[in-house]
Amino acid sequence: MSKALVIAEKPSVAQDIVRALTPVDGKFDKHDEYFESEHYVVSSAVGHLVEIKAPDEFDVKRGKWSFANLPVIPPHFDLNPIDKSKGRLNALVKLIKRKDVTTLINACDAGREGELIFRLIAQYAADSTATTRAKGLGKEVKRLWLQSMTPAAIRDGFEQLRTDEQMTPLASAARCRSEADWLVGINGTRAMTAFNSRDGGFFLTTVGRVQTPTLSIVVEREEKIRKHVYRDYWEIKASFGVEAGAYEGKWFDPNFKKDKSAAEGSAEAELKADRVWSAAEAQAIADAVEGKQGTVTEEAKPSNQSSPLLYDLTTLQREANSRFGFSAKTTLGLAQALYEKHKALTYPRTDSRALPEDYISVVKDTMGMIADEDMPGPLRELSQHARKAVNDGYVKPNKRVFDNAKVSDHFAIIPTMQAPKSLTEAEAKLYDMVVKRFIAVFYPAAEFMVTTRITKVPAAGKEHCFQTNGKVLVKPGWMAVYGKEASEEGDERTLVAVKPGEAVTTEDVAVNALKTKPPARYSEATLLSAMEGAGKLIDDEELKAAMTEKGLGTPATRAAIIEGLLTEKYIYREGRELIPTAKAFQLMTLLRGLGVEDLTKPELTGNWEFKLAEMEKGRLSREAFMAEIAAMTQRVVQKAKEYDRDTIPGDYAVLQTPCPNCGGVVKENYRRFTCTGKSGSDDGAGCGFSMTKIPAGRSFELHEVEQLLRDHKIGPMDGFRSKAGWPFTAELKLVRDEEAKNWKMEFDFGEDAKKDDESGEAVDFSAQTSLGACPKCGGQVYEHGSNYVCENTTGSSKAKCDFKSGKIILQQPIMPDQLTKLLETGKTDLLENFVSNKTRRKFKAFLSWDAKAGKVGFEFEPRAPRAPAAKKAASKTAAKTAAKKAA
């Protein structure tokens, strides 16, 4: 009997499909990788199982970082299995090739990416077969298109399967997006790396359609911060006395009108109704009104505020970053664990904040589960709110929540019917956020009374106005679910009453001197918002419309994009702020200077989205789109290859520290820091001192080069790369080259300290502060070259002690305060950036003193005990013992 193979995107969806089909097709037998009934075999991928690659004849192995082999534009793409998913891929290929399987049903997520996942699996299965035929080995292909996962919706979907021909435009758009990203990423990265490595060394410079515009957003914000000119202004606050008490008001100009055309950051944009721009004028107003009487007008309006919508992934990441400081990557990991491991949340990688219209019964059941379940700890209070929602019938049809038009590949993140057990503290925080939002969204709106009070004080022939705002919560509505948390975030202030016609007295006036502020740096929360709303930065209306629902990246990829920028040292975290590095500014300068700044703008994504949407509607061919991408790729490579000027134009720095050779002015250009002589003019009058900005592929930050010029040494610093591309850590120093009669920069790997050790002379540590007592001999430990050593270790071939520990261990810099902690307590704090020599992966560990081995070693975090597994093992052992006794 012929069967249909159903391929879902995730195992959980495969199980939902089996549950929905069992009543109509009978029992399914469970196998390791699939379920099987009379008419269906149901299995799944685990996301992408294969990735595209250039065919072997086009894949450059050696010299890929030179212009000689660029651009790489293969006529077609081959497929490569993703290592971690090979087992699942082989199992699917085996099922696809079964002779009794005559139909393939694509049940991957309803969208472009789901279409691509299935198509690539089918292509790989066909390519790995001796006889390659169309349509996945000559089998009929159908499409299951689901926007709701209720059993009834799944059964309806099987009744209305779409044909392969109907899905061809979407499949073409999916392939085009994937291949275009590959072409731009591979060629852009290799071209910019080749350009930056022209003068020797290896300076990896990654470029991507989403990564580079995201970086541009951060760099442009930093440029505004750096260029901000601080301006002094003054605010005037007065305290007014009435019979019922006192209240405060802020002076404002009622005739002020904001200039909407003013550029962000300009002096005009900083003008506001409540700002006074001279101390004398502000003081004059304060002196004029103090002790005077005024009159009050008041307007009170009721105001309603609905609960925020359900979470999509980006909103969840944004709020978790703001509330708990979780990175986007951490939040995604927690949400994924709550989905996969605990089965407590629905699929998290979604950009939808609504639910399907047929989900009302599912929501009612879920709300009932939360109401009835004995939730752990702080979640217990939520059960009462859920009970009220059930008893008062809050869950009902509501377009804010249930709307098929607002559901994309997936619906909003909500709790499942599975109550979680034994969550970690971080998992519990995220689950609490989702459950609160799920309950609150069905509650009535919060009701406020908002009061605006204007106090007018006539003085010296003028009438000065002061504004006071009050907001009083009348009915908490959904805010009851959030309790204190909501009221703390609200601007709730009850004003003392003023009787009709009552005169008020200006009792006290304060003039506050303030300064304008530059725009705030991006945090992960605000950068995620900027990526999501990147379409707003586009002027072209068609392209803006194409990006309305898209933004830069997808909810599933935005965390990885930010982590990629951190890994490549384009940005770094300082607290919750994301700050661009010198390498980031250098890339933006390069792309602008080469005239390929379209790689830095979200318009590129907008243009692609517009054309891919046209392709999905059958108005644009796959061939025409890919020809445009190939032409763009060739142009980017050609611009970099043909650039023939000495430097890239840009906004470069003049260093504060003078030239170490002649005391002249040192200036930055694209590649180097160069002495321009005493006058600082660019007429070639410098003494010849010059040093690269990117030693061994690492860009200098300005404060670092200032320190190197001043102290003639700096480090240890990480982030350097060898010619083979391997990362390493080292110190840098300036040394005198007597032959050239100038200074040059060199790497210092501790040879000087080694020479001191071999010389047999005692090292003078008198100018240093001891870091602590040596654990071996009780002597004092100091910094020496690239190590921390005991004072009794150096200066003699018959040294009394051999204690030594590196300043950098497996690329992790060990700061002096950590070494002190090790000497005092036996171990350091948990250090997070060790890099394994074998796997090249980062790992966390403590450094600890191993007295038995007589050296510093690693100590790892203890793993949480796996009680259930042990219990299971114990019960199995007991069962075996009982069986033996019975025998």
Q: Which two tokens stand for residue 859?
A: 């100590």
Q: Which two tokens stand for residue 208?
A: 């991507």
Answer yes or no: are the C-beta atoms of 140 and 104 closer than 8 Å: yes
- Of 156, 157, 142, the residue nearest 106 (C-alpha): 142
Cα–Cα distance between 874 and 867 in angstroms, integer? 10
Answer yes or no: are the C-beta atoms of 537 and 604 closer than 8 Å: no
Positions marked catalytic: 347
Residue 239's H or E segment, with its range, is strand 232-242
**Residues 127, 132, 133, 137: is their CA dihedral positive or negative?**
negative
Answer yes or no: are the C-beta atoms of 820 and 808 closer than 8 Å: no
Place of tokens 């390069």: 590
Place of tokens 């009543």: 23
Paired with 847 in beta bridges are 858
Residue 812 DSSP class: E
Q: What angle do CA 697, 701, 705 make, to 5 degrees?
A: 95
- Of 383, 482, 391, the residue nearest 441 (C-alpha): 482
Answer yes or no: are the C-beta atoms of 454 and 466 closer than 8 Å: yes
- Indicate left, alpha or beta for 488 from its phi (over 0: left) and psi (-120 to 50: alpha): alpha
Residue 189's H or E segment, with its range, is helix 164-196
- Indicate left, alpha or beta for 772 from its phi (over 0: left) and psi (-120 to 50: alpha): left
- Of 541, 470, 561, the residue nearest 217 (C-alpha): 561
- In a 13 Å sphere around the CA of 614, the CA atoms on its Cβ side amount to 15
User: Amino acid identity of 17?
Assistant: I
How long, in residues, is the chain? 887
Q: What is the CA radius of gyration of the chain?
A: 33
- Indicate left, alpha or beta for 47 from its phi (over 0: left) and psi (-120 to 50: alpha): left
- Indicate left, alpha or beta for 343 from its phi (over 0: left) and psi (-120 to 50: alpha): left
Cβ of 833: how many Cβ atoms within 10 Å? 12
Q: At what angle do helices 211-227 and 524-532 cross, to 10 degrees?
A: 120
Answer yes or no: are the C-beta atoms of 803 and 775 closer than 8 Å: yes
